[in-house]
Structure formats: C-alpha cells, structure tokens
Amino acid sequence: MADYYSVVSRAVSGLPGNTHEARRELYERARAALRDRLRRHNPPLSEMALTNEQSAFEAAIRKVETDWLFNDMRRESEEYAALSTQRRLLITAEEFARFVRAKLNDTIRIIRDRGTSRNERANTIGRMLLAKVIPIKGNIAAQGPVSVQSIQLTAKNIGRRIWLSTFGKKFQSH
C-alpha cells in the first residue's frame, strides 16, 4: 500500500489555480492512472487488494480535501478578524439584510398564493418592509454620512418588529 496522502497533497499544492474544479479534475486523472497501474501490476492483484488500494487512495483524497477546507476556513477567519469593527458590522448587516429579504420574499409569496385580495395587501406590506430593511443606494447617498449607532438602533427596532410579527408576543422578553 502506497502513501497516497503525500502524493495527492503534493499534487494539489502544485495546482496553479487551486479551485474545487481543478482539484476534482486532478483526482479523476489520478484515479484513472491508479486503476490502470493496479490492473497492469505483475503479478496480478486480487479484487480485494485492488479494492483496498482504491479505498486507501479515496481516503487520502478525503483527507486532503478536509485539510484544504480547514486551511481555507482558517484563512477566511484570519482575514475577517483583521477587518475593522465597523467593516465587520457592515458585513454582518449585509448578511442579515439578505436573510431578511429572503424571508420576506417567502412570506410575500405565501400570502400571494392565498388569494388576490390578500395579494395586493402583501405586495404593499412587502414593499414597505423591504424599503425599511434594505435601503436603496440612492437613499443612502441622499442621507449623507450615517452614524453606526443610528444604523444599529434602526436595525434593532426593525429586527424586534419582525421577530414579534413572526413569533408573536409569546416569546417576548419582559
């Protein structure tokens, strides 16, 4: 049984564009080469030996992919930690806005599917909520500089209203 991990790891680290697609193509070429080499082995290997070698190779690929994923996550985490507090807040707010927009779109779609009279009401409510939660770039530019504190307060109030309208007063803290 060969040390497939070191071979695969070296091959992946030598890829010019270390993308998922490039790694996948490398693995496919390596699988084909391994199958060919194992089939031509002299003396011929048993089916069990062939299966063991291929399983060891697949385990090496999984380990390399896991290592690559953890290294990528560590790099992204370090990059995020290096950002300023205000930039991290903006990134978090953008993620929250995307989440809220998706939830509102789902809610509007559900209400729209219930009937035409509610459809008009849902469209109006949805547009109003989206305008409050996700301002248009023109509106932001017209407002001029906005303090982070006012953005936080606005987001907190909107978040509380969305929470109460979604889950009701049952979970409201006193």
Nearest by Cα to 64 from 18, 32, 33, 29 = 18
First to last CA, the chain: 65
* Amino acid letter, residue 107: T
Dihedral, CA of residue 24, residue 29, residue 33 and residue 38, to nearest 10: 30
* pLDDT tier at 154, thresholds 50, 70, 90: low
Task: For residues 74 and 67, give the distance between their C-alpha atoms in angstroms, rounded to a whole number.
Answer: 10
**CA distances from residue 141 to 74, 80, 92, 128 in whole angstroms, order as listed:** 35, 26, 20, 19
- Note the pLDDT tens digit of each residue in 44-55: 888 898 899 999
Question: What are residue 130's phi and psi, to 5 degrees?
Answer: -65, -35
Q: What is the mean pLDDT of the chain?
A: 76
Q: At 41, is the secondary structure helix, strand, or coil?
A: coil
Reported pTM: 0.47
Mean pLDDT for the stretch of residues 105-112: 79
Cβ contact 23:37 at 8 Å: no
Distance, in Å, from the CA atom of 133 to the CA atom of 159, rounded to the nearest integer, reads: 9
Yes or no: say if 90 and 34 are a contact pair by the CB < 8 Å rule. no
Question: Which residues, 6 or more positions from 74, have their beta carbon under 8 angstroms from its beta carbon?
Answer: none
